[in-house]
């Protein structure tokens, strides 16, 4: 089974935080990226992360109870 990892960083921040690490992550997991050019709302986060076993969250990403229930 291939692991799926969701990275919540918006595209603007992605290169600054994961420019070199993202290719390595893609070697070990199917990587799902934030599909929106801004930080995600809780409902957007839940939808985008569906089916992922790992979440790599930006510090600005909300982490309310709804996310953990989903």
Range of the domain at 13: 4-69
Domains contained in the chain, number:
1
Kindly report, residue by residue over 19-70, the tens digit of the pLDDT: 888 999 999 999 999 988 888 888 999 999 999 999 998 877 777 888 888 8
The predicted structure's pLDDT at residue 66: 87
Query: Do the beta carbons of residue 58 and residue 39 sit within 8 Å?
Result: yes
Q: Is the pTM of this model over 0.95?
A: no
- Whole-number Cα distances in Å, 65 to 37, 49, 58, 62, 69: 24, 15, 17, 10, 6
Q: Are strands 54-56 and 4-7 parallel, antiparallel or unpaired?
A: parallel
* DSSP element (H, E) containing 45: helix 42-49
Residues in the chain: 70
């Amino acid at each position: 089974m291939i692991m799926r990892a969701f990275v919540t960083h918006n595209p603007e921040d992605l290169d600054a935080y994961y420019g070199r690490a993202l290719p390595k992550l893609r070697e070990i997991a199917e990587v799902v990226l934030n599909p929106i050019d801004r930080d995600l709302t809780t409902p957007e986060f839940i939808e985008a992360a569906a089916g992922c076993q790992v979440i790599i969250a930006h510090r600005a990403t909300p982490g309310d109870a709804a996310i953990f229930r989903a």
